[in-house]
Amino acid sequence: MDIQANLKTIYAELPAGVRLVAVSKFHPKEALMEAYRAGQRIFGESRVQEMTEKHDALPDDIQWHFIGHLQTNKIKYMAPYVAMIHGVDSYKLLVEIDKQAARCGRVIPCLLQLHIAREETKFGFSFDECNDMLADGGWRSLTHVSLHGVMGMASNTDDTEQVQREFRSLHDYFLEAKERFFADYPAFSEISMGMSHDYPIALREGATMVRIGTKIFGERV
Ligand SMILES: *Cc1c(COP(=O)(O)O)cnc(C)c1O
């Protein structure tokens, strides 16, 4: 794997303003350093312990994005340093992140995960559940989390039209939520969608952040 060449190929494809989260889960620190030397500064991890070990060993100017499924009891380990949490799919988690962030004197940027795929197994709010949570308004009093946008994963299928519809539904939801709940929140601006096999479609559908692992680092072992 030529990590630096893979990154350069992807950078050349990203429209201005779109950020790359290099998904480095299960890959060794040497691989991350290779990407770091090519200029990559945002890394995505899906297990808190693994992310924390890498955070402790690697340069300070790396921004660590947590993209995995959240467990309440693990939030405290990443609260001191995590740059963004992508997978918030319940109000209870938001409250817990707020509590742990407060203990560290931080405000943690979070994305709301929406369930856009056909597969039942994927996590995330339904659009209705998310609207109910936002309409309830309790989140407005959580001063140590900041809602920066939405995140979603498309179905794992070769049907590109299906994938496109799912990404479009996330973009549409983002616009609706922005107008209804975040008109006075300029920070609510991110649409995190697209992985190695479907990011070109996500870019066409308005992703502001793509999360790419395999295409940079090779298969996970
Ligand atoms: C693993 C993972 C990715 C990256 O997947 P690749 O197919 O390796 O690009 C992106 N997003 C999430 C939520 C993941 O868990």
Each domain of the chain, given as residue ranges in start order, spans 3-217
Evaluate: CB of 211 within 6 angstroms of ligand 1: yes
What is the position in ligand 1's atom list of the atom closest to the CA of 86?
13
pLDDT at 221: 76
DSSP H/E element including 139? none
How far, in Å, CA of 13 to CA of 10, rounded? 5
Question: What spacing in Å lies between the alpha carbon of 73 and ligand 1's midpoint?
Answer: 23
Contact by Cβ (8 Å): 23, 210: no
Dihedral (Cα; 219, 160, 149, 132), 10-degree rounding? -120
First-to-last alpha carbon distance for the chain, in angstroms, is: 14
For ligand 1, the distance from its centroid to the CA atom of residue 29, given in whole angstroms, is 18
Q: Determine whether the shortest distance from the Cβ of 154 to ligand 1 is under 6 A.
A: no
Indicate if ligand 1 lies below 6 Å from the C-beta of 196: yes
Q: How far is the CA of 211 from the centre of ligand 1 (A)?
A: 6
Predicted pLDDT of residue 2: 95
- Which pLDDT does position 119 carry in this prediction? 80
Query: 3-13 and 29-37 helices cross at what angle (nearest 10)?
Result: 50
- The structure's pTM equals 0.97
One-letter identity of residue 122: K
| CATH code matching the domain that covers 3-217, chosen among 3.40.50.2300, 3.30.70.150, 3.30.565.10, 3.20.20.10 | 3.20.20.10
The per-residue pLDDT for 150 is 98
The reply to whether ligand 1 has any atom less than 6 angstroms from the CB of 146 is no
What pLDDT, on a 0 to 100 scale, did the predictor assign at position 9?
97
What pLDDT shows up at residue 35? 98
The verdict on the CB of residue 213 being under 6 Å from ligand 1 is: yes
User: Which pLDDT does position 27 carry in this prediction?
Assistant: 97
Q: What's phi and psi for 87, nearest 5 deg?
A: -105, 45
Kindly state the tokens that stand for 182.
Answer: 């975040």
Q: Rounded to an integer, what distance in angstroms lies between the CA atom of residue 107 and that of residue 12? A: 32
Q: What is the pLDDT of residue 204?
A: 98
For residue 23, the CA-to-ligand 1 centroid distance in Å is 6
Strand pairing partners for 190? 149
Does any ligand 1 atom lie closer than 6 A to the CB of residue 67? yes
pLDDT value at residue 123: 87
Helical spans, DSSP H, in the chain: 3-13, 29-37, 48-57, 75-78, 91-103, 127-136, 160-181, 199-204, 214-217
- pLDDT tens per residue across all 221 residues of the chain: 899 999 999 999 999 999 999 999 999 999 999 999 999 999 999 999 999 999 999 999 999 999 999 999 999 999 999 999 999 999 999 999 999 999 999 999 999 999 999 887 778 999 999 999 999 999 999 999 999 999 999 999 999 999 999 999 999 999 999 999 999 999 999 999 999 999 999 999 999 999 999 999 999 87
The confidence score (pLDDT) of residue 120 equals 75
Cβ neighbours of 178 (radius 10 Å): 16
